[in-house]
Amino acid sequence: MASLLDAYVSPKKEIPRQAYAGVSTVAVAVVIALWCVLSYGGFVRSDFLPTPHDVAMAAINGLNDGSLLINTGASLTEIISGFIIASVFAVPLGILMGSFKIVEAALEPVTNFVRYLPVSALIPLLILWVGIDIEEKISVIFIGTFFQQLIMIADVSRGVSQDLLDVSYTLGAGRRTVVWRVLIPATLPGVMDTLRVTLGWAWTYLVVAELVAANKGLGYFILNSMRGLFTDQIFLGIIVIGLLGLISDQGFKLLRNRLLPWAV
């Protein structure tokens, strides 16, 4: 018994792969089982907690009448556009901000001010300025992710070892070569990690924006379902968002291993 404890519950110690997969499966199964017991068992009213069957039916209905795909498509378009626009600006600016004091001096004050503003506080203003269409969602996602990305990527860039740059100079590199051939490659793993984390946040901002004002999208779908007390649809919306998040996260992980096999 003691040896089993030693093997499985020592801090930072590896456990067999099968054991890891087994525990993960059981954990997911427990959540689903609990849901089944509470809903099918009648412990919670169905308009508070739908059964898995109800949610599956809602999914089939949503697919049949096209509403699920339209709303998912709308959300995906908004999040991908907003996230890409933010990243395209944040990655180069962040790298420069972390390694060039002059860029840091220029960007830091504004960034630090905006970064602590909850984006939700800006939504009314954005609605006033750009309406409630896709442009507003993209703006919310842009503002929400850009400033966070900027600060995080600047930190990654700041963390590139001075010795790595210095050794490049002693090998004959000029400033331009050092930036393109050393500084930028050295930041890539950290940049990928930052993008992966901020994509998760972008989902939050998107749903917030859609909950406030929208005529399509998963956030709108959830809000609209609440008005009709369709908890099965609310659950469906939440599960779809969760799954999309999981897929994009795994996608980033795969991409990082594929593009940066040298990174630890």
Partner 1 sequence: MAAPKLRIDNVALRFRSRTGAPVTALENISLVVEDKEFSVIVGPSGCGKTSLLRLVAGLIEPTEGSISLDNTSINGPGKDRGMVFQSYTLFPWLTVQNNVEFGLRIAGIPAAQRRETSRRYIAQVGLTGFERLYPKQLSGGMMQRVALARALANAPAILLMDEPFGALDSQTRSLMQEMLLDLWQGSHKTVLFITHDIDESILLGDRVYVMTARPGRIKEMVEIDLPRPRTVEMLTSDAFMAIKRRIMHSIHEEAMRSVAIERT
101 binds partner 1 (CB under 8 A): no
Q: Compare residues 14 and 163 and give the one whose CB is closer to partner 1.
A: 163
Select the residue interacting with partner 1 from 22, 159, 185, 242 (CB under 8 A).
185
Rounded (5°) CA angle 248-107-174: 85
Q: Which helix (H) or strand (E) holds 171?
A: none
Tell me how far, at minimum, the Cβ of 38 lies from partner 1, in Å: 48
Residues 41, 170, 228, 258: which binds partner 1 (CB under 8 A)?
170
**Among 167, 229, 247, 254, contact with partner 1 (rule: CB under 8 A):** 167
Q: Rounded to the nearest whole angstrom, what is the least distance from the CB of residue 255 to partner 1 in the complex?
A: 16
What span, in angstroms and rounded, lies between the C-alpha atoms of 235 and 244?
14
* Site residue total, partner 1 (CB under 8 A): 22
Instruction: Decide: is 262 part of the binding site for partner 1 (CB under 8 A).
Output: yes
Q: Which of 168, 194, 198, 225 binds partner 1 (CB under 8 A)?
A: 168
Query: In whole angstroms, what is the distance from residue 82 CA to residue 146 CA?
Result: 9
Q: Distance between CA 223 and CA 214 in Å, rounded?
A: 10
Among 182, 195, 202, 234, binds partner 1 (CB under 8 A): 182
Query: Which residue is it, tokens 């498509």?
Result: 73
Among residues 64 and 161, whose Cβ is nearest to partner 1?
A: 161
Under 8 Å between Cβ of 207 and 141: no
d(CA 145, CA 135): 15
Maximum C-alpha span of the chain: 75
- Binding flag, residue 41, partner 1 (CB under 8 A): no
179 binds partner 1, rule: CB under 8 A: no
Q: Which 8-state DSSP code applies to residue 216?
A: S
- Tell whether residue 172 is a contact of partner 1 (CB under 8 A): yes
Does 258 sit near partner 1 (CB under 8 A)? no
The single-letter code of the amino acid at 71 is N
Task: Report whether 30 contacts 38 (CB < 8 A).
Answer: no
Query: Quick check: 164 binds partner 1 (CB under 8 A)?
Result: yes
Give CA–CA dist 27/16, Å, rounded.
17
User: Would you count residue 173 as binding partner 1 (CB under 8 A)?
Assistant: yes
Binding site for partner 1 (CB under 8 A): 161, 163-164, 166-173, 177, 181-182, 185-186, 188, 260-264
